[in-house]
Structure 1
C-alpha cells in the first residue's frame, strides 16, 4: 500500500501535509468520529477528500450550498478523481444516471445538501448503498450551521442529528472554519459524536494583513484609490443593496471591472455574476452579506468593508474570503463611529431581550477591534478564546506602532479600585469611582468612602476606559463573558499591584516604519513569467469552462515561475502538479516557460539607483504624490522615473495611473500619428488629457 505522502502526491500533487492534516487523516482511516476546527486556507477539505479515496466505499459530504458543492466536485474531477453531486439542478434522467454510477462503485465522493440526505426517499437509497459498495463515512462541512449559537445557523442542518441513530456504525466527521467553544460543544451534542478526536487549530490567518482606515466623506474616491493600488481580485462588502449597485456602476465607469451582488437580484443573475468573478472575467465583486459561504475562490487578494460588521465572527468569515490559497492578502475596514448607531437600530428590532444583549456584546467587541491601538489580532482571536501576544507583523498597528508609555501607576490605581469593590462591577463603575462621580449608584454602595475615590481625576473617562480595555487585551485583567462584564483580578493583576510587573500602553501619534525591500532583478523575471503563465491558465480555463484555479492554483504557478523547469518530467515534480494534470495541461505551461527563456525577456539595460528607489516605493503601494513627498522630488520627476521604468520592461501597472478608456484613446492616436511629442498629442486629444497621462501611456506603449 502506498504511503500517505505518496497518495497525497498522486491525487493532489503536494509533497507534504500541512500542520495537523496527517494526524487527522490517520484517525479518519481508523473510523474515528472527528471534530475539526481549521481556519479557512488551512487545508480542511483534504482532511476528508484523501481518506475518502483511501477507504473502501463512498464518502458522503454534506455541503450547504449548491455552488459550493459544484465547485468542489469540478476541482476534484479536474484532478482525475471520481466525485459527483446530487442536487436540484439535475433533471430526473441525469439524477438516475448518477445514482447508478454510485451504486456501481464508480464514485468515491458524493456531495449532498442536508435536506436531501435526511429525506425519506433518499434513506432507501442509502441503505441500498450500504449493502453494495458501503459508505466509508459522513463528512459534515460548515458544521457550525448546526448550532443556534453559530454565525450562520441553518434549520435544515438540525436534521443531521438523525444520522447517528439511523447509521450508528458509520463514522462522522464535522468540519468548520470558525466555532467558539460553545458552538463546538453544540456540534458534538447535536451530531452525537462518540468520543470524537477534536482537532482545533489556531484561528490566526498569518497571510492576511488587517487594517482599519477612517471612512472619508468622499468614500467612493477612497475605495477607488484603494482598489487601483491593490493587485488581483477583491470583494467590497456593503450593508445596503443600493450601495452595491451604485459603487459597482461607478467603478465600472472608471475602468475597474466590477459587478454588484445582493439578495434582490434573481438567482440566475447572481449565479452569472458569481461565475464571472470566480473565473476572473470581472475583478471586483461589490456585495452585501448575501455573497457568503459559497464563494470558493482561493485567490481573492483583498476584502474591503465599506460598513462596520455586526460581530467579530462575521468579520472573520467575510475578511477570511481573502487569501484562501495561503498567499498574502489585505483586509481593510473603513470605520465611521456613527455606524454603531445604525447597528443599534437593527438590534432593537430583535424581539428577544437575550438576543439583544448578545448582539450588543458582539457589537462592543467589533468596536474594540476598530478602535484599538494594539495588535488587531489580540482582539480578533480573543473572541474565539485564543490568547495572542501581539506583534503580529501583519496589521496596521504592528507595522506602524504607536508610542508606548509606562502606565504602571495608573494600572495600580485601576486594579486597586477593582479589588476594593470586591470584583463585582464593570469598567464604567470603576471609572466613576476614580473620577469622583456623584452618581446615585456610587453613594448607594458607599463607594464614595473608598480610598480610590477621586484618585483618577487627572485622566479623562476615555483614557481610563482605554486603560481598562488594554489591561483586558493583554490578559492582565479578566472580564466575565456575560451581559454584566464584571472585572476580575487574575495572577497578572496581583503582580502589577505588588510592583512585580510593569504595564505598557500604546498611545496615539504613530511613527511610520515602512520597510523597503532590496531591488531584485531575479524577482522581476519571476513576476513577468508568472503573469504569462496566468494568461495561459486563463485561456485553458475558458476552453474547459472552469475557474482558473481549477487548472492550477497561484501557488503552483509561482513555483513554476521560480523553478522554470525545462522538461515535462521536472515540471511534474513540482508541488500541485499531479500526473493527471501533467498529462492534461503540462505541455502548455512547459511550452510557455521554454518560450520565455528563449526570448531573454529581461532587458540588457537595468534601472539606475534613483529609478530603483522610485520602483521600491511604487511596489509598496504609494501614489505618485506620496512617492514624490517621500523622496523630496517633484511629481514630474517621479512621472519620468515611472515612464523610464516601463520602457525598461519593469512591472508598472499603467491602469493605476491612467484610466483604461483614456489609455486606449491615446494608443489609438499614437498608432495613427506615430511617436509625436506630448504637446502635439494633447492638442489633438484636448484638455481632458494631461501631459503626465500622455507621457506614461507613450512609455507603456513602447514597452508593449
Structure 2
C-alpha cells in the first residue's frame, strides 16, 4: 500500500497537504466515517482521490450532476487515475464497458448520481465488488435544512449501511450548524467524525452595491475585470437579454446559460466557457455546480441569490485556484419582496422559518456598514476578526446615518395614506408638496404632511430600500407600500435604523493594492500560449493541463530539466511525462532569446 504523502507527490505533484486534508485522509485510511466541511478551493477532491489510490478497491463517488462528474473524471484522468461514471448520458456501450472495468477491479474512481446509488439494483452490484471508500459529494443536499435539498440524497443510508466497514466520507463547502447535524444523522456518521476547516475564502474580495442601471454597472465591471467570469441573474429571460447587452461593444465573448436553452446550445456554451480564459457567462443558478473551472476571476450577481448559503456557494466558484478573485452583488429592494413572496407561496410550511432566517441574514449582509466577510463567517458559526481588509467596507468604509426618526415618519406616512401608495407619493406627502395626486386624495390635510426636513427627504429612497430588505415595508403588485412584521419595533422605538449612504457612482479601479493584477511576465504568457495549444490538441480545457499558479511557478523557477520541472507544484508523474518536454522547450527558447 502506497502512503498518502507519496501519492500526493508522485501523482498530483504537491509537496504537502493543505489545511485539514491530512486529517480527513487519515480518518479514511483508518476506516472511519467522516463529514468534511471545507471551503471551495480547499482541495476536497484530493480527500477521496488520495485514499482511493492508497486503499484496495474502487472508490464510489456520489455526485449530484453529470456535468460535474465528467469534469472531475477528465481532471482525474489527466493525473493518470482510472475513473469512469455510470450515468444516463454515457450511452449503452460506454456503460457496459464501465461495468466490466468496475467488476474487474480496474477503476480507481466510479462516479454515480444519488438516484442510481439509492436503487436496489445498484446496491446488489456494489455488494459484489471491492470498495475502498464511499464519498458523498455536495453532502448538504441530504439535509432538508440545507439550501439545495435533493430528496434522493436521503435515500442513500441503506446503501451505506449495506457496505459494512467501508469508510464513508461526506464533503461539502456549504453547511451551517443545523445542516451539519442533519448530515451526520442522515448519513450515519458519528459526531466525532465532523471536521470543519472553516469557511473563509481570503482570496475573494466582496463588493455589494445598490442596483442602479445594472447593465451599465456590469459593463463598467467587465471593462476593468480581467479573466473569465460568471454573472448570475434570476430568470431565463434576463440571462439572454443581459448577455446580449454586455456583448455589445465588449472586448470579449459573453454567452447566456439557462435550463430553457436548446440542450445542444447549452452544452456548447458551457464547453466554450470551460475552455476559455476570459469569457463571461450570464446564467441562472442552473449553471455552476457542474463546473470545476478553477480560474474564474469574478462572480457577479445582478440581483440577490436565494440565501446567504447560496451566495457563499455561488461566489465560491471564483478563485478556486487560490489566486485573487472578486465577488460583486447589485441588489434592489424588489429582490427581497419577490424572495419573501416566494417563501410564503412556494416553500412548504415546515421550511419557511429556516428560509426566512437565511433571507434576513442576506439582508443584513447587503445593508451592512461592517466587514462583509465577518458577517458571512459569523453566519456559519465562526468568530472572525472584525475587519478582513479585503471587502468594500474594509477598503473604503462607508458613511452611515441614524435614520430611525426618518424611518418612523415614512412608516407613519404609509399608515396614514392607508398603505396604498409608493415611495414617490409618500415622499411628496412628507415634503409638504401639494401635487395633483396629494390634493386629489386630501393628503395635504394629514398629520404627516410636511413633517420631514430636507436631510430626511434625501434619505427616503435608500431608507425605503433598507426597510423593504428588513421586511418592515412590503410593496404590492402596484407599488403600494404596506407594513411588514419588521415595522412594529421601529415604530415603537425598540429598534434603531441605521443606513449606509449610497456610494458615488464613480468607481476607483480596485483600491487597496490591486490584488487581482499580476505583473506582466512574457514567459508566463508564452507558457499559457503553449498550454492553450496543447489543450486544443487534446480537446480539454487549459486548466486540466496545468493551473495558472503552476505556470506562474514555472516562469519564476525556469527549470531546464525534467527533474527541475517535477519540483514545481502541480506537476505529477503523468503530466510530467505527457507535457514536460513541451513546457521545457518554451522555457529553453525564452532563456536562449534573453541570453
From the CA coordinates, give the structure whose radius of gyration is larger. Answer: 1
Structure 1 pair 486–530 and aligned structure 2 pair: CA distance change class (3 A): farther
What TM-score, normalized by structure 2, do the two folds share?
0.80
Equivalent residue number for residue 55 of structure 1:
55
Equivalent residue number for residue 554 of structure 2:
560
Q: 1:597-636 counterparts in 2 under 5 A?
A: 597-600=591-594
- Aligned with 2:522 (options 523, 528, 538): 528
Structure 1 pair 250–372 and aligned structure 2 pair: CA distance change class (3 A): same
Residues in 1 aligned to 2:380 and 2:261: alpha-carbon distance in whole angstroms: 34
- Aligned with 2:241 (options 210, 230, 246): 246
Equivalent residue number for residue 127 of structure 1:
127
| Equivalences, count | 519
- Please list the CA deviations of residues 363-382 of structure 1 after superposition, one character each: whole Å capped at 9, or x if unmatched: 22212111111100122122
- Aligned with 2:198 (options 181, 189, 202): 202
Structure number with greater CO (CA < 8 Å, separation at least 6) is 2
- Secondary structure class of the residue paired with 1:394: coil
Q: How well do the aligned residues superpose, as a CA RMSD in angstroms?
A: 3.5
Does the Cα contact within 8 Å between 1:325 and 1:553 map onto a contact in 2?
A: yes
Report how far residue 524 of structure 1 moved: 4.2
Report how far residue 281 of structure 1 moved: 7.3
- Aligned with 1:378 (options 366, 374, 379): 374
Residues in 2 aligned to 1:224 and 1:403: alpha-carbon distance in whole angstroms: 26
Matched, 1:541 2:535: yes
Equivalent residue number for residue 328 of structure 2:
332
Residues in 2 aligned to 1:580 and 1:530: alpha-carbon distance in whole angstroms: 22
Equivalent residue number for residue 259 of structure 1:
255
Residues in 1 aligned to 2:14 and 2:488: alpha-carbon distance in whole angstroms: 49
Structure 1 pair 581–344 and aligned structure 2 pair: CA distance change class (3 A): same
Matched, 1:106 2:106: yes
Structure 1 pair 517–305 and aligned structure 2 pair: CA distance change class (3 A): closer
Equivalent residue number for residue 45 of structure 2:
45
**Structure 1 spans left out of the alignment, 5+ residues:** 408-426, 440-458, 470-482, 488-504, 602-704
Report how far residue 269 of structure 1 moved: 2.2
- Please list the CA deviations of residues 417-467 of structure 1 after superposition, one character each: whole Å capped at 9, or x if unmatched: xxxxxxxxxx99xx99xx99xx9xxxxxxxxxxxxxxxxxxx99999xx9x
Residues in 1 aligned to 2:279 and 2:112: alpha-carbon distance in whole angstroms: 30
- Please list the CA deviations of residues 629-650 of structure 1 after superposition, one character each: whole Å capped at 9, or x if unmatched: xxxxxxxxxxxxxxxxxxxxxx
Equivalent residue number for residue 137 of structure 2:
141
- Aligned with 2:306 (options 307, 310, 319): 310
Equivalent residue number for residue 676 of structure 1:
none
Residues in 2 aligned to 1:378 and 1:486: alpha-carbon distance in whole angstroms: 29
Q: 1:566-581 counterparts in 2 under 5 A?
A: 566-581=560-575
Equivalent residue number for residue 456 of structure 1:
none
Residues in 1 aligned to 2:225 and 2:511: alpha-carbon distance in whole angstroms: 17
Equivalent residue number for residue 87 of structure 1:
87
- Please list the CA deviations of residues 20-54 of structure 1 after superposition, one character each: whole Å capped at 9, or x if unmatched: 11111111100000010001001111111101100
What TM-score, normalized by structure 1, do the two folds share?
0.68
Residues in 1 aligned to 2:328 and 2:65: alpha-carbon distance in whole angstroms: 27
**Structure 2 spans left out of the alignment, 5+ residues:** 416-454, 470-484, 490-497
Residues in 1 aligned to 2:6 and 2:488: alpha-carbon distance in whole angstroms: 54
Does the Cα contact within 8 Å between 2:204 and 2:325 map onto a contact in 1?
A: yes
Residues in 1 aligned to 2:206 and 2:558: alpha-carbon distance in whole angstroms: 33
- Please list the CA deviations of residues 186-224 of structure 1 after superposition, one character each: whole Å capped at 9, or x if unmatched: 11111122455210121111010000123223x222211
Report how far residue 139 of structure 1 moved: 0.8
Does the Cα contact within 8 Å between 1:276 and 1:282 map onto a contact in 2?
A: no
Does the Cα contact within 8 Å between 1:350 and 1:356 map onto a contact in 2?
A: no
Report how far residue 403 of structure 1 moved: 6.6
- Secondary structure class of the residue paired with 1:338: helix
Residues in 1 aligned to 2:113 and 2:295: alpha-carbon distance in whole angstroms: 26
